[in-house]
Amino acid sequence: MSTRTTVEIDRERIAELTEREQKRLDDRTDGSRTHFERARTSLAAGVASAYQERDPWPIYLSHGLGSRVWDVDGNEMIDFHNGFGSMVQGHAHPAIVRAVQARVELGTHFAAPTEDGTIVAEDLASRFGLPRWRFVNSGSEATMDAIRIARAATGRDTIVKIFGSYHGHHDYVMVSIGVPYDKIGDRENYASLPYGAGIPQSVADLTIAVPFNDAPAMERRIARLFEEGRPPACVIIEPAMMNLGVVLPEPGFLEAVRELTRRLGVLLIFDEVKTGLTIAAGGATERYGVKPDLVTLAKTLGGGLPSGAIGGSEEAFEVVESGAVYQVGTYNGNPLSMAAARASLQEVLTPDAYRHLDALNERLLADCQAVLDRYGFPGYPVGVGAKGCVTFSPEPIVDYESFKANQDADLSELAWLYNMNRGIFMTPGREEEWTLSVMHTFEDCDRFAAVFEEMASDLTA
Ligand SMILES: Cc1ncc(COP(=O)(O)O)c(C=O)c1O
């Protein structure tokens, strides 16, 4: 991040532009409004997942092709949302369409293994340098099973996670995520706070949160857990945090976490549901050169079909192979998902694809930096591989505390409205980031930067 003089953004101007842009979006999404009225009578809040909810109504999509999506009003948008980071292949990629069409005619589900599952496992083993794999159907299932494996392997119940990290919607990890700043507790002893209702406090209490980018704090907390007679089974961590915008690991952090977990006999789980297959062929494990005991994948793996995976060392997987842990699921290794994953890994996510994603992201990050510099706008661009964002904060965000202290929710909302009204489909909310696809072009990235420039200009005029 460069040190430079920035302008003070007028809060009233943000409010005024937000009102204007909100009205503009309402006017161009009347079909979504109509559909919402119908959907809400049978589908709770009109959507299939709370992450799709939006006030006053969600934007309903009709189809996607390449780097584009269309909403039900016929608005064409360049997709930087990409299914919360799942569609790095782009929409309806010909290789995946071919593979899925061929598979559909051969039967789509047997709950018996097929050859594609073996081929996908072999490919993942070579990308991540981890020899054993199992499949599931989502990121949540992957983290849930990985934690169970770690608990069985160590005979311990407590787990350690990073405060503010999201690892899916099961009880073990819906803890200490997006909570008000004043409830976090002391940095050396963060609170174990259920994220939403319905999560037993007794389960949340088994999950201990520590700050990101602070290996000494993690080590001190783990040492105390040993002293208290509740040593942890594992540390589960997003190697680069992608649920607070993008927060990269500082040099040496992941290496230190690897060293201390190995030394203390605690399993290390890299939750690569977002980073795996998006920031390098072998995810963060390859990009940062640190190998965990277990890795979890989902999102990009299935090329748009529901799937997830857990990879690990022979030692970690011993409890699965011995039958001690029931790692199960009717749809695990579903033939349609495996056919899509195989085509994706072998034909789409090639070394050339990662070179293209890196080049696109480099250009987009540089263009956003140029806009920030031109207008003296507070913030900085940050990203890796297919992922990135502009963080609207004068201070570098390194963990949940700095994120909360420097949050500019109003500006994030305005940026989202500017994007949506100018043909850029983006993830709502400050916690998310852009995901590029192999089908994106440099012109697509230029369009994103141009829209950002329009907002910066309107706010600083
Ligand atoms: C890092 C991480 N882990 C796990 C999950 C859960 O994945 P899913 O929504 O497929 O259950 C997510 C979802 O966003 C995630 O970002």
Checking if the pLDDT of 181 tops 80, the result is: no
Rounded to whole angstroms, how far apart are CA atoms 438 and 15? Answer: 36
Confirm or reject: Cβ of 276 under 6 Å from ligand 1. Answer: no
Cβ-based burial of 389 (10 A; exposed 0-12, middle 13-18, buried ≥19): buried
Sheet holding 424-425, edge to edge: 61-65, 68-71, 76-79, 424-425
State which amino acid sits at residue 340: A
Instruction: Write the pLDDT tens digit of every residue in 32-80.
Output: 999 999 999 999 999 999 999 999 999 999 999 999 999 999 999 999 9
- The mean-pLDDT minimum among 4-8, 104-108, 236-240, 347-351 falls in 4-8
Checking if the pLDDT of 2 tops 90, the result is: no
Rounded to whole angstroms, how far apart are CA atoms 398 and 219? Answer: 18
Residue nearest to atom 4 of ligand 1 (CA): 167
Hey, what are 278's tokens? 């998006």
Rounded to whole angstroms, how far apart are CA atoms 361 and 382? Answer: 10
Rounded to whole angstroms, how far apart are CA atoms 192 and 205? Answer: 6
Share of the chain above pLDDT 90, in %: 92
- The mean-pLDDT minimum among 12-26, 257-271, 375-389, 422-436 falls in 422-436
Residue from 88, 167, 172, 238 whose mutation best tests the ligand 1 pocket (most atoms within 8 A of CB) = 167
Of ligand 1's listed atoms, the one at least distance from the Cα of 139 is 7
Q: How confident is the model at residue 447 (pLDDT cuts 50, 70, 90)?
A: very high
Q: Is 45 left (phi over 0), alpha (psi -120 to 50) or beta?
A: left
Mean pLDDT, residues 294-307: 98
SS3 of 133, please? strand
pLDDT, residue 3, reads: 57
Q: Please check whether residue 307 is in contact with residue 109, taking contact to mean a CB–CB distance below 8 angstroms.
A: no
pLDDT, residue 413, reads: 94
Angle between helix axes 442-460 and 409-421 (nearest 10 degrees) is 130
Confirm or reject: Cβ of 143 under 6 Å from ligand 1. Answer: yes
Hey, what are 107's tokens? 């039967």
Q: How confident is the model at residue 6 (pLDDT cuts 50, 70, 90)?
A: confident
Hey, what are 49's tokens? 């997942």
Confirm or reject: Cβ of 86 under 6 Å from ligand 1. Answer: no
Alpha helices for 72-195 (secondary structure H) = 82-85, 94-104, 115-128, 139-154
HSE-CB at 226 with a 13 A cutoff on CA atoms is: 11
pLDDT, residue 57, reads: 97
Checking if the pLDDT of 273 tops 80, the result is: yes
Of ligand 1's listed atoms, the one at least distance from the Cα of 308 is 10
Tokens 């997942």 locate to 49
Mean pLDDT, residues 228-236: 98
In sign, the C-alpha dihedral spanning 258, 261, 262, 263 is positive
Rounded to whole angstroms, how far apart are CA atoms 410 and 413? Answer: 5
For residue 89, the CA-to-ligand 1 centroid distance in Å is 18
**Those residues with Cβ within 8 angstroms of residue 258's Cβ, 6 or more apart along the chain or in another chain:** 268, 290, 291, 292
- The mean-pLDDT minimum among 180-189, 261-270, 398-407 falls in 180-189
Q: Which position has the higher pLDDT, 404 or 454?
A: 454
**How far from 163 is each of 52, 186, 278, 387, CA to CA, in Å?**
24, 12, 23, 21
Q: How confident is the model at residue 427 (pLDDT cuts 50, 70, 90)?
A: confident
For residue 272, the CA-to-ligand 1 centroid distance in Å is 9
State which amino acid sits at residue 433: E
pLDDT, residue 198, reads: 97
Partners of residue 71 on adjacent β-strands: 61
- The mean-pLDDT minimum among 3-17, 47-61, 319-333 falls in 3-17
pLDDT, residue 5, reads: 79
Q: Please check whether residue 299 is in contact with residue 67, taking contact to mean a CB–CB distance below 8 angstroms.
A: no
Backbone angles phi, psi at 353, to 5 degrees: -60, -40
pLDDT, residue 61, reads: 98
Instruction: Write the pLDDT tens digit of every residue in 99-154.
Output: 999 999 999 999 999 999 999 999 999 999 999 999 999 999 999 999 999 999 99
Residue from 166, 175, 295, 305 whose mutation best tests the ligand 1 pocket (most atoms within 8 A of CB) = 166
Q: Would you mind telling me the total number of residues written for the chain in this entry?
A: 461
Q: Please check whether residue 161 is in contact with residue 207, taking contact to mean a CB–CB distance below 8 angstroms.
A: yes
Rounded to whole angstroms, how far apart are CA atoms 235 and 85? Answer: 24
C-alpha dihedral, 268 to 274 to 51 to 306, nearest 10°? -100
Q: Which residues are catalytic?
A: 166, 271, 299
**How far from 417 is each of 352, 421, 425, CA to CA, in Å?**
34, 6, 10
Confirm or reject: Cβ of 114 under 6 Å from ligand 1. Answer: no
pLDDT, residue 430, reads: 67
For residue 451, the CA-to-ligand 1 centroid distance in Å is 29
Confirm or reject: Cβ of 271 under 6 Å from ligand 1. Answer: yes
Q: How confident is the model at residue 282 (pLDDT cuts 50, 70, 90)?
A: very high
Confirm or reject: Cβ of 166 under 6 Å from ligand 1. Answer: yes
Confirm or reject: Cβ of 379 under 6 Å from ligand 1. Answer: no
Mean pLDDT, residues 285-310: 98
Q: How confident is the model at residue 263 (pLDDT cuts 50, 70, 90)?
A: very high
Of ligand 1's listed atoms, the one at least distance from the Cα of 85 is 14
In sign, the C-alpha dihedral spanning 80, 84, 85, 89 is negative
State which amino acid sits at residue 28: R
